[in-house]
Homo-oligomer: A and B are copies of this chain.
Amino acid sequence: MKTDILIIGGGPAGVTCAVTARKNYPKKRVVLIRKQKKAVIPCAIPYIFCRLNSIDENLLPDKILEDNQIKVLIGEAVDISVKDKKVKLKSGKRIEYEKLILATGSEPILIPIKGIEKQGVFLVKKDYEYLKKLRKAVLFAKNIVIIGGGFIGVEFAEEISNFKDKKISIIEKAEHCLSFNFDDEFIKIVEKKLKEKGVKIYLKKSVEEIGGAKAVEYVKLDDKEKIPADLVILSIGARPNTKLAEKAGIRIEEKGTILVDEYLRTNIKDIFAVGDCAQTKHFLTGENVSVMLASVACSEARIAVSNLYKIKALRENKGTLGAFSTCVAGLGLGVAGLTEKMAEIGKYNYIIGTAEVPDHHPGSLPETKSISVKLIFLKGGEKYLLGGEIMGPEKIGEMVNIIALAVQQGLSAFDFQNFQISTHPLLTSSPIAYPLIAAAQDAIKKMDA
C-alpha cells in the first residue's frame, strides 16, 4: 500500500496531524495507523466514573477522520524501514510513505512498589478495554487510594468523590498536590476543595508497600501508617513510547523522548515526531521539559504538518509555553508560562501583580463568582509577561488562553494596561476592574514604587 502522509498513532496528536494535513494539503492521501479499534479521549479519562456514563461516551469520534477523508488502519506498527520508506504492521502489511509522523504517545510509569502486582492495582492506561475494567472496579470499590497528586490524581479523586459511599485518599510525595504546576496560594484552595469533598490527602509521604493476600487490602506509607484499600490507582506520570523509533535508528534525547528540531523533524529525513513521544522545549527557558498534554501535542501536530513539505519560518515551534487548566469541585484553575516558583528557580528578576474581581458586573447579579489572577512580569526593561495563574468559574479556562497568547506575543505590563477588551454585565467582569488589566496595573504600581 502507498500513501503520501502516514501517521502512526490515533490519539489527539495523530488525529490533529490528519485533520491539519487535509486542511493544508487537500490533494494528499493521508493514512492513520492506530492500535485500538476505539480511541479514548485521554484528557477526559478522569470523568468516566460519574460525569460520563460509560467509556463509549469518551471516544474520539471517528467522524472527524471520515469527514476529512483520512484512511484509518487498525493495527500495530512494528517496524520502520527508513531506507525504502515503509512501515510494517504486525499483520505483515507494509505501507509506503512520502512523509511519516510518529505520534506514538506515552504510557503510564510503573514503579517497583512492593505488592504492585496485586489484584486491584490499576494504572491509567489510554485503553478502551482496560478502562472498562477500571471503571467497574471503581464503581464497586469502597476504599480507594490514589498514588500521585498531579493533575490525573487530583481529577480522579475529585470525580470519584461525587460518590458519597467511597473513601478516597491521595498520597503525594511533594509538599503539595500539583506543586509543579501552580503556586501555593492556588494549590491550597484546590486541596481545601478536595478535603471538603471528603478526600484525604497525605503530603510528603511515599508508599512502602501495597499489602493484602491476593487482592489489595491496604497501602502502607513510609511512616508505617496503613490506609485500608480495595483499589489502588497509580498516577505518578507517563513515559514516552519510543520503542518503534529507537528500533528504526531515530535519535532519542537524554530525557527519553524522540529528538526533534523546531519544525518537529527527527534526525531521519521525512520522519517527524509530535506529542508525548517527542521532545519538548520550554518557550521561555529553552530547556527540555517533560510536558505531556493533549493541547501541546495538538499544537505540535499543527506545526509539524505545516512544515511537512516545505519549511516556513513563521510556523516553527517556538517551544512549549506550558499552559494547563483543571477544574476541581466547580473551581477552574489555569496557568500559562512561568509560575512564581519557576521564576524564582530560574532567578528571573520579576514582579507580581494580582487582582480579585467578581466575574459579572455589578457583583450583585445572580450567580456571580470571584476570579483571582496573578501575573508575573519581568522587572525593568521591557516588563514582558512571563506567565500567569487564574482561578474562578468555568470561563477562566478561556482567560488562561488570553494569558497564553499574551506570553506568546511578548506583551508587557503596559500593553496589558492598554488591552482593548469587550465586557458585558452577564458575561465578564467590569471594564473598570477587568482582572487581567487590574493585575497588570497592580504590577505597574509596584514597579514605580
Contacts and interface: CB of A to CB of B under 8 A. Distances in A.
Given A321-B420, A332-B426, 10 more contacts: A23-B444, A23-B445, A41-B361, A57-B364, A295-B423, A295-B431, A315-B417, A323-B420, A398-B402, A404-B422
Contacts of A421: 295, 299, 323, 401, 404
Contacts of A335: 422
Contact of A325 (B23, B299, B306, B422): B422
Q: Which size class do A's interface residues fall under?
A: 35 or more
Contacts of A64: 432-433
Contact of A417 (B15, B57, B302): B302
Contacts of A317: 418
Interface string A415-449: 10111111111111011111001000110110011
A427 B397 contact: yes
Interface string A280-308: 00010000000000111111001100100
A247 interface: no
Contacts of A400: 422
Interface stretch (A44-52, A188-196, A208-216): A44-52
6 contacts: A26-B445, A26-B449, A298-B432, A299-B421, A306-B418, A336-B422
Given A362-B58, A405-B405, A419-B405, A426 B315 contact: no
A315 B413 CA distance: 11
A394 B52 CA distance: 23
A334 interface: yes
Interface in A74-133: none
A406 B404 contact: no
